[in-house]
């Protein structure tokens, strides 16, 4: 009897210990590794909509990851993927982030990266990628998150935040302060 009790005790201890590091969507369900599509929405009201693509400078086609200006916009759906062989995404894992619906003129694949000559997050295949992304918990009391980007060394990791250019476009950039705090909302198919 004592053995059965200890087995249940350790099982529940394992379940509760590992549950805390699972990335959850707005419905409280785990974010699926390389599976479902999600919108990335800000947690603060009145700060704009979900993450999408925006034009930078004289570009003819949007390649920069930015924030939709309207709070009513969910932005573009993304798929989160990790090399870990499991169904769900966990806090702190290195992940790839890819927009699933982009304009025809946008580069494919539409994986996020930070070019060597910039701090702005862009999409497209680039052999000069700087590091990888991870998802971290932004609050211990809620399922809200922030992105961290590490170029090559863990000592140069930075949060990602929204920075506005002179045209008023909110772009996702590496920051030392004020990270973009968000939730994952499972995308609905149109």
Q: Is residue 102 part of a domain?
A: yes
pLDDT at 116 (0 to 100): 81
Instruction: Report d(CA 173, CA 158) in Å as an integer.
Output: 9
- On the question of pLDDT at 55 being above 90, the answer is no
The CATH number assigned to the domain holding 89 equals 2.80.10.50
- Is 28 contained in some domain? yes
In terms of Cα–Cα distance, which of 102, 104, 85, 101 is closest to 93? 85
Residue ranges making up the domain that contains 140:
23-186
Q: Mean pLDDT, to the nearest integer, of 72-87?
A: 94
Q: Is residue 112 part of a domain?
A: yes
Going by pLDDT thresholds of 50, 70 and 90, the confidence category of residue 57 is confident
Give CA–CA dist 150/3, Å, rounded.
Answer: 45
Report the pLDDT value the prediction gives residue 135, as an integer from 0 to 100. Answer: 96
Give the closest residue to 123 by CA, choosing from 34, 53, 74, 176. Answer: 53
Q: Could you tell me the CA-to-CA distances from 182 to 106, 111, 142, 150, 174 in Å, in that order?
A: 25, 19, 11, 19, 16
* Least confident window among 14-18, 72-76, 117-121, 170-174: 14-18
Give residue-wise pLDDT tens across range 93-143: 999 999 998 899 988 889 999 988 889 999 986 655 556 899 999 988 788
**pLDDT class of 190 with cuts at 50, 70, 90:** low
Q: Calculate what percentage of the chain has a pLDDT beyond 90.
A: 57
> How many folded domains does the chain comprise?
1
Most confident option among 43-47, 91-95, 186-190:
91-95
Measure the CA–CA gap between 8 and 4, rounded to whole angstroms: 6
Mean pLDDT (the chain) is 85
Query: What pLDDT was estimated at residue 5?
Result: 40
pLDDT tens-digit readout, 2-42: 544 434 443 443 444 445 799 999 999 999 999 899 999 99
């Amino acid at each position: 009897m004592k053995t059965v009790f200890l087995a249940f005790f350790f099982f529940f201890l394992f379940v509760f210990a590992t549950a805390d590091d699972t990335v959850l969507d707005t419905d409280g369900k785990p974010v699926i590794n390389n599976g479902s599509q999600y919108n990335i929405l800000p947690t603060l009201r009145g700060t704009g909509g979900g993450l999408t693509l925006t034009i930078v400078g004289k570009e003819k086609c949007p390649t920069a990851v930015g924030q939709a200006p309207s709070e009513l916009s969910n932005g573009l759906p993304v798929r989160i993927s990790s090399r870990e062989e499991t169904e769900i995404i966990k806090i702190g894992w290195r992940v790839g982030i890819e927009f699933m619906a982009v304009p025809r003129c946008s580069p494919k694949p539409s994986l996020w990266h930070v070019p060597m000559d910039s701090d702005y997050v862009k999409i497209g295949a680039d052999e000069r990628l700087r590091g990888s992304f991870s998802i971290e918990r932004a609050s211990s009391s809620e399922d809200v998150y922030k992105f961290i980007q590490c170029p090559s060394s863990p000592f140069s990791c930075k949060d990602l935040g929204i920075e506005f250019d002179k045209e008023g476009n909110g772009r996702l950039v590496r920051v030392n302060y004020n990270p973009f705090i968000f939730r994952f909302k499972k995308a609905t198919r149109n």
